[in-house]
Structure 1
Amino acid sequence: MTPYRHALLLASVITAATGVTLGSVVSLAAQEQGRRFSDVELHDRFDANADGRLDRAERDLARKEAESRPPRRRRGGPARAEERPESPRPETIPDALKIDPDDLRQTPRHEGTGLYDRDVLHTIFLRFEADDWHDEMVAFHGTDVEVPATLLLDGRPIGEVGVSYRGNTSFDMPAKKSFGISIDAYDDDLRIDERRTLNLLNANGDQSMMREVLFSNIASDHIPAPEANFVRVVVNGTYLGVYGNVEQINKDFTKRHHDTRGGVRWKVPPDFSGGGALAYHGPDREEYADKYELKTGSAGPEDWDALIELCRILKETPDEEMEETLPKHLDVSEAIRFLALDNAFVDSDGYYSRGSDYYVYMDPDGIFHLIHYDNNETFGRGRRSGPGGRGGPDGRDAPGGRGGRGGPPQGLRPDGPPPGFEPGEPPADLDADRRGRNRSRDRGMGRGDRGRDRNQRPGGRGPGRGGPGRQGGGMTQAPLALADESDTRPVIARILAVDAWRAEYIETLRTIAENDLDWANLKPRIDAYRTLIEKDVIRDPFHGDRTGFRDALFGGEASIKAFAAERRRFLLDHPSLDPDRQKSSTSDSGSAGDSKAADRSSIR
């Protein structure tokens, strides 16, 4: 019996005995089902004096239990392997670079600047009370326990905050860990630039350090997107390098973009099945609770029902009624720009490739919005599965195909990336015409979102019909990829089925290719960041490679420059983006990797 059904059984008993309404208990049931996404809850159990924080003695007890637990199982994949031995930590090396917050030459004050100003390299200092802070945070990774530290920004004291390591693969593999910081962990009113959460990201596998930040900056010119820049991080006086500083998608984000802290947010975590792509799975809430991670503690059954109704509309509404019906539920123009960005920059952890790794936000008016997050696999960096097609009977001889239980997408090991590929290796420009946690209070990346970006490797349930069945995407992902995949990528298929929206999408994609992928426009962005961070990247104890840094920006086939040039050329040369061509071009319908589908019409 699943947790959800168990809670429903309890609901009937509670209702009979107490008169508590079934609806309120169903909400609890949905929250119980959502625990599959949540951190192991230790905080309240070990907070002996109930003061809302764990002192060192309480954390020591909690740590013993945390360390006694088996490795966490990734969503859709195997349990983690035994922890690999780490190289010496920077703080243990005698000649490690030390930075003094009181030394103005080392620590410019940057007064009058914002937290996310793109031309400023802030320095974030964390002071932990004990030298074993790293071991503590490793032990508590995947739990709701945060380690207290004093935070200083450019030498200015901010206050006491809660700190944790976040990430999945980005936690397992590199010595350089990403940080999640709850600014308001111990003071509900504490903020930095009106933010209560910091995400300091390690750019796992990205020698350029820039993909996540660059994409967020570019996306923000088109749609609501997280603000992002770079910071230096210093812990207990030791320099730990340059990190991406990426805004959390929480109430602060919705206030900035939608002028409200209301509404409901869901995170769609990495999942090779593509089940969280707003596909319709029937009216049962349980079918959605394990695909969409609820981030709003006050949400109720009616909010889940609204999400399910959007999925039903995408599935069942006739094409001739879609143009009138869908805008009552989804910001279509915004969704078109969301899809065009995902396609143009070939996000191998995005809606096209996985049907996951994005946020769904329902505003107080009941209109849904799609938001990018976890964008370090853009600019062609990834070699994970791209969009598949309908495929053959067993899904092996053609892209996509009907998947099943038990196996990862073809070409991927159950416990890792494709053979011969490790993080940081150059991307493969795959031919797409050949191949197809949350505590109840909403604390952002604090005790809610942090530690669960789940860049997991595939495993468990295999891809579903038409889902990611083979490596695909890449430089030659077609402009109208997945235009007929209404079952697996309904947002793409149903929007492109409406002539006016299809034309808007084509024009948006062409504009992005012409402008945002133009090296004349992209190079100044990169040069500004390179000038800002290169000296500190070279001194990064986990990076320290000027050649690798520059090559990833300007070098060979794996560089951002090479990707932009080749992707732009492919898109602008593609017949479906030809402004003189009829809007109903049939040359690239179907999947990103199904050349046979490319010869048939996608117009309904």
Structure 2
Amino acid sequence: MKPTRPKSSPAQLIPGIVAIAATASSAFGAGLVLQEERGSRFRDIELHDRFDADGDGRLDRSERDLAREELGDRPPRRRRGGPPGGRAREERPRPETLADSLRIDPDDVEAVPRLEGTGLYDRDVLHTLFLEFEEDDWHQEMVAFHGTDVEVPATLLLDGRPVGEVGVSYRGNTSFDMPAKKSFGISIDAYDDDLRIDGHRTLNLLNANGDDSMMREVLFSNIAQDYLPAPRANFVRVVVNGVYLGVYGNVEQINKDFTRANHGSRKGVRWKVPPDFSGGGALAYHGPDRSEYETSYELKTDSAGPEEWDALIEVCRILAETPDEELEETLPRHLDVEEIIHFLALDNAMVDSDGYYSRGSDYYVYMDPDGIFHLVHYDNNETFGRGARGGPGGRGGPGGRGGPPPGRGPDGPPAGFDPDEPRGGPDRDLRRPGPDARDDRDQRRRGRGGGRGGRGRGGGGGGRGGGGGVTQPPLAFADDAETRPVIARILAVAAWRTQYLELLRRIVEVELDWENLGPRIDAYRDLIEAHVVRDPFHGDRARFRNALYGDEGSIRSFAEQRRRFILEHPSLAPDADDSSGRDASSEEGTSRGRDPR
């Protein structure tokens, strides 16, 4: 039990509330981080314990000021292959400094409906979250502590009703550096281990960076839940110190609570595969040396040790070395093949530009207590045609990458920086004390896939660079066991390939049919539009609607074009043979798949 100051019991204030904790790490890879340690790429700068002088488990303002003084000498961040990163330059005044900003009082029942009886992730309601910081310079503090393990204390209210004191941080990489609207990570159990909201301990409030529709993350998550275990998501309004900051995506954390709800156990081991243009975390085999994997897979379970790492390496080896004729018997002993087929079909159908197809990253790996591996989508704001920017190079070549997004070096985020989660370590497991020589594979694969282009992990085959988007083929990467082994080895089994293609057809036929998708989007629009147009960082109704319904770049235009392309593709024709399907995939391009229950 962490030390905690006396406070009112939230359970007495809000029925069902017992609260949400922040998990994960997002690291700043310079300065104080111990870069020589294995896996240090994923570590926060650790300041909390050093500056918690009174040992009460929270840093008060004087303790945080001392920590900020030490951070003052931290060199600017450099992105690999790019110019110095530094802090984001904000082009406009912050809403909290403007006299005409919309202000909302928690006691205004008309402005803040009391949504009793609704769940934290209820898709049909718009909760309002209030954060009340003691200091007016809370934003400057959170910018200063971004990439550290320091959380800034605040009082949280849900729909005007007190929850308790929580720890707050900014999260994200490009979603932190570029936009003025920042994503929040909230550790609701930061100062009270028993605090929960509907049994949850973490809030991820996402800014929909680059998505004028504000919907792609939430839309993908809610569709995915009909096919396989996926994070729940909805929309919330966020108000800080009385000032309205807009609509955010509220996305469930992939932690022990998630695995218990979806796989029946809090046990098992989780790895996050963070953004990485090299594709080094695609479950490709890099030999038996654990250090070859620790830079691509971020361990999220503190109880895991060498045996669990060995299990991960072994499943990579099995994917690489199992002969085709043995795959159907061997893989189900190690992978949830049925679930992974759904994972792949969804990824591909919705064209996740930050996913397994496009980059071999931006997903979770979960090994359940029986030793079976599962893959879980996360970070889905670049689905539905947003952000497609090319993929690995053609077969047999050195594997040129599709271009990185603006402001990133060619290798993605800088070393030491975990972009996508709130401060505090996985389930608070890895932070301060608390609960919880590669063989030549070309010959073995007998020409399957492309060469890596050297020792580095930038290689790739399967599709030509510039793939992704609405013309990403059904069998993209089907011949690329080198850089996308999960796709290539599963699709090498005829029965699984047939199942995958049938599922892909069904997903695009149903989920991308505007007769079905349109009403879903209209309902979301009706829920949030009035609040988006008052969003101080968005506020443009025409831009919002164009991102939903416009002729180019909208969700509707993507859905209609993608559906037509997939349903007319020769590999889905009733008389398509194996060779025509595979040839189509290797000629065309790149980018992420369960029957509805």
**TM-score class, shorter:** 0.7 to 0.9
Asked if residue 281 in structure 1 is aligned to residue 286 in structure 2, the reply is: yes
Deviations 1:96-153 (A, max 9, x none): 1010111100100100000000000000000000000000000000111000000000
Answer whether contact 1:387 1:591 (CA < 8 A) is retained: no
Counterpart pick for 1:109 among 114, 117, 126: 114
The aligned residue for residue 38 of structure 1 is: 43
Residue identity in the other structure for 1:568 = R
The aligned residue for residue 5 of structure 1 is: none
The aligned residue for residue 156 of structure 2 is: 151
Q: Distance in 2 between matches of 1:147 and 1:171?
A: 17
The aligned residue for residue 536 of structure 1 is: 531
The aligned residue for residue 442 of structure 1 is: 427
Asked if residue 49 in structure 1 is aligned to residue 54 in structure 2, the reply is: yes
1:84-103 aligned at under 5 Å gives the runs: 84-103=89-108
Answer whether contact 2:203 2:252 (CA < 8 A) is retained: yes
Describe the shift of the 1:417–1:442 C-alpha distance in structure 2 as closer, same or farther (beyond 3 A): closer
Deviations 1:221-252 (A, max 9, x none): 10100000000000000000000000010111
The aligned residue for residue 586 of structure 1 is: 580
Q: Distance in 2 between matches of 1:358 and 1:78?
A: 28
Deviations 1:471-523 (A, max 9, x none): 32111111011111001000000000001100110011011011011111101
- Report SS of the residue matched to 2:498: helix
Q: Distance in 2 between matches of 1:590 and 1:327?
A: 27
Describe the shift of the 1:467–1:498 C-alpha distance in structure 2 as closer, same or farther (beyond 3 A): closer
Task: Return the offset for 1:276.
Answer: 0.4
- Report SS of the residue matched to 2:38: helix
Q: Distance in 1 between matches of 2:120 and 2:431?
A: 18
Deviations 1:348-382 (A, max 9, x none): 10001100000000001100000000000100101
Q: Distance in 2 between matches of 1:143 and 1:196?
A: 20
Q: Distance in 2 between matches of 1:444 and 1:301?
A: 17
Answer whether contact 1:410 1:469 (CA < 8 A) is retained: no
Answer whether contact 1:345 1:378 (CA < 8 A) is retained: yes
The gaps in structure 1 that reach 5 residues or longer are 1-28, 393-400, 404-408, 419-436, 449-460, 598-604
Q: Distance in 2 between matches of 1:478 and 1:128?
A: 49
Residue identity in the other structure for 2:562 = R
Asked if residue 141 in structure 1 is aligned to residue 146 in structure 2, the reply is: yes
Counterpart pick for 1:571 among 566, 572, 576: 566
Task: Return the offset for 1:446.
Answer: 9.0
Deviations 1:442-479 (A, max 9, x none): 2389989xxxxxxxxxxxx7722428883321111110
The aligned residue for residue 237 of structure 1 is: 242
Asked if residue 521 in structure 1 is aligned to residue 526 in structure 2, the reply is: no
The aligned residue for residue 382 of structure 2 is: 377
What is the aligned residue count?
525
The aligned residue for residue 558 of structure 1 is: 553
Q: Distance in 2 between matches of 1:241 and 1:386?
A: 34
The aligned residue for residue 17 of structure 1 is: none
Q: Distance in 2 between matches of 1:309 and 1:479?
A: 28
Counterpart pick for 1:548 among 531, 540, 543: 543
Q: Distance in 1 between matches of 2:405 and 2:95?
A: 33
Task: Return the offset for 1:575.
Answer: 1.4
Counterpart pick for 1:353 among 358, 374, 377: 358
The aligned residue for residue 297 of structure 1 is: 302
Task: Return the offset for 1:68.
Answer: 2.2
The aligned residue for residue 326 of structure 2 is: 321
- Report SS of the residue matched to 1:586: helix
Residue identity in the other structure for 1:273 = S
Answer whether contact 1:77 1:414 (CA < 8 A) is retained: no
Answer whether contact 2:348 2:357 (CA < 8 A) is retained: yes
Describe the shift of the 1:181–1:31 C-alpha distance in structure 2 as closer, same or farther (beyond 3 A): farther
Describe the shift of the 1:410–1:520 C-alpha distance in structure 2 as closer, same or farther (beyond 3 A): closer
Counterpart pick for 1:485 among 476, 480, 487: 480
- Report SS of the residue matched to 1:36: helix
Residue identity in the other structure for 1:475 = V
Describe the shift of the 1:519–1:591 C-alpha distance in structure 2 as closer, same or farther (beyond 3 A): same
TM (norm. structure 1) is 0.83
Describe the shift of the 1:387–1:524 C-alpha distance in structure 2 as closer, same or farther (beyond 3 A): farther
- Report SS of the residue matched to 1:234: strand
Describe the shift of the 1:447–1:215 C-alpha distance in structure 2 as closer, same or farther (beyond 3 A): farther
Q: Distance in 1 between matches of 2:577 and 2:235?
A: 41
Answer whether contact 1:502 1:583 (CA < 8 A) is retained: no
The aligned residue for residue 507 of structure 2 is: 512
Answer whether contact 2:462 2:476 (CA < 8 A) is retained: no
Report the aligned-residue RMSD. Answer: 2.5
Task: Return the offset for 1:326.
Answer: 0.5
Residue identity in the other structure for 2:465 = R
- Report SS of the residue matched to 2:257: helix
- Report SS of the residue matched to 2:198: coil
Answer whether contact 1:38 1:438 (CA < 8 A) is retained: no
Deviations 1:151-200 (A, max 9, x none): 00001100000000000000000000000000100000100111000000
- After superposing the two structures, state which structure 1 stretch, 143-152 or 73-82, moved more: 73-82
The aligned residue for residue 334 of structure 1 is: 339
1:190-229 aligned at under 5 Å gives the runs: 190-229=195-234
Q: Distance in 2 between matches of 1:263 and 1:529?
A: 35
Describe the shift of the 1:170–1:112 C-alpha distance in structure 2 as closer, same or farther (beyond 3 A): same
* Identity level (%): 73
Task: Return the offset for 1:388.
Answer: 3.5
Describe the shift of the 1:417–1:470 C-alpha distance in structure 2 as closer, same or farther (beyond 3 A): farther
The aligned residue for residue 453 of structure 2 is: none
Q: Distance in 2 between matches of 1:375 and 1:286?
A: 28
Answer whether contact 1:314 1:491 (CA < 8 A) is retained: yes
Residue identity in the other structure for 1:442 = D
- Report SS of the residue matched to 1:539: coil
Q: Distance in 2 between matches of 1:445 and 1:177?
A: 24
Residue identity in the other structure for 2:383 = T
Deviations 1:416-437 (A, max 9, x none): 499xxxxxxxxxxxxxxxxxx9
Q: Distance in 1 between matches of 2:406 and 2:129?
A: 38
The gaps in structure 2 that reach 5 residues or longer are 1-33, 411-421, 434-455, 591-597
